[in-house]
A and B are shown apart, each in its own frame.
Chain A
Amino acid sequence: MNRRKFLKQSSIISLGLLACPSLSSAFSLGANNDVIIGHNSHKYKVDLTWGNLNPLHTPVNDCHEMIQDSKGRIVLLTNHTKNNVIIYDKSGKLLETWGTDYPGAHGLTLVKENGEDFLLITDYERHQIIKTTIDGKVVFTIEYPAETGKYTTKDDFKPTETAVTENGDIYVTDGYGKQYILHYNHKGELLNFFGGSGTEDGQFLNAHGICYDNRNPQNPSLLVSARELNVLKRFDLQGNFIESFNVPGALICRPVIHKKDIYFAVLRSKSAINSDSGFILIMNENNEVVSCPGATSPSYQNNKLNELYQTVRLFQHPHDVCIDDDENMYVAQWNSGKTYPIKLTRV
Chain B
Amino acid sequence: MRKFIGIIIAMLVFSSCEKQQKEVTSFLQQGEIKLTNPRITVSNTLIDSFVTLKPEIHMEKLSVGYEENGKTPTEASTKLHTTISATKPGIYKFRAFHPDWKPSEVTSIKLYKKGHIPNKITWKTSANKKYKGQGETTLINNQKASLEFRDIEWVGFDTIAKATVSFNRKTYIKSLTISYLTDPKSWVFPPASVTLYLNDKDTINVTIPALTEKEIVKLDDIKIPIEKEISTIALKVNNVQKLPDWHAGKGLKAWLFMDEWIFN
Contacts and interface: CB of A to CB of B under 8 A. Distances in A.
Contact of A274 (B20, B148, B216): B216
A70 B29 CA distance: 33
Q: Which of A12, A34, A274, A312 has the most CB of B within 10 A?
A: A312
A27 B39 CA distance: 36
A290 to B, nearest CB: 16
Interface string A16-28: 1101101100110
B6 A273 contact: no
Interface in B11-58: 11, 13-14, 17, 20-21, 24-30, 32-37, 39, 58
Contact of A273 (B35, B101, B216): B216
Contacts of A33: 24, 29-30
Given A20-B17, A309-B36, A13 B26 contact: no
Given A27-B20, A30-B24, A313 B34 contact: yes
Nearest to A50: B26
Nearest to A10: B9
Contacts of A276: 215
B84 interface: no
B133 to A, nearest CB: 19
Contact of B29 (A8, A35, A309, A311): A35
B217 interface: yes
Contact of B9 (A9, A22, A274): A9
Contacts of B34: 312-313
A146 interface: no
Interface string B1-15: 010011101110110
B6 A23 contact: no
Interface string A31-51: 001110000000001111110
Contact of A309 (B24, B25, B39): B39
Contact of A312 (B36, B39, B148): B36
A297 interface: yes
B247 interface: no
B88 interface: no
Contacts of A50: 26
Interface string B203-228: 00000000000011110000000000
A9 B3 CA distance: 9
A277 B36 contact: yes
Interface residues of A, number: 41
Contacts, number: 107
B216 A17 contact: no
A244 interface: no
B215 A47 contact: no
Contact of B13 (A5, A13, A49, A271): A13
B59 A311 contact: yes
A312 B35 contact: yes
A22 B21 contact: yes
Contacts of B217: 272-274
A243 B58 CA distance: 30
Contacts of B33: 35, 312-314
A29 interface: yes
A345 interface: yes
Q: Which of B26, B27, B217 has the most CB of A within 10 A?
A: B27
Interface in B174-220: 185, 215-218
A35 B25 CA distance: 11
A272 B29 contact: no
Contacts of B5: 9
Contacts of B35: 311-313
A22 B29 CA distance: 15
A287 interface: no
A5 B9 CA distance: 14
A314 B148 CA distance: 23
A46 B10 contact: no
A20 B215 contact: no
Contacts of A19: 10, 14
Nearest to A30: B24
B10 A15 contact: yes
A310 interface: yes
A141 interface: no
Nearest to B20: A26
Interface in A224-240: none
Contacts of B6: 8-9, 12
Given A34-B27, A46-B27, A274-B37, 13 more contacts: A17-B13, A19-B10, A22-B21, A29-B21, A35-B28, A46-B28, A47-B28, A272-B217, A273-B37, A273-B218, A312-B35, A313-B33, A313-B34
30 contacts: A8-B6, A9-B9, A12-B10, A13-B9, A15-B10, A16-B11, A16-B14, A17-B13, A20-B14, A20-B17, A22-B17, A26-B21, A27-B20, A29-B24, A29-B25, A29-B29, A33-B29, A35-B27, A45-B28, A271-B146, A273-B147, A273-B216, A274-B216, A297-B58, A297-B59, A310-B36, A312-B34, A312-B35, A312-B101, A313-B33
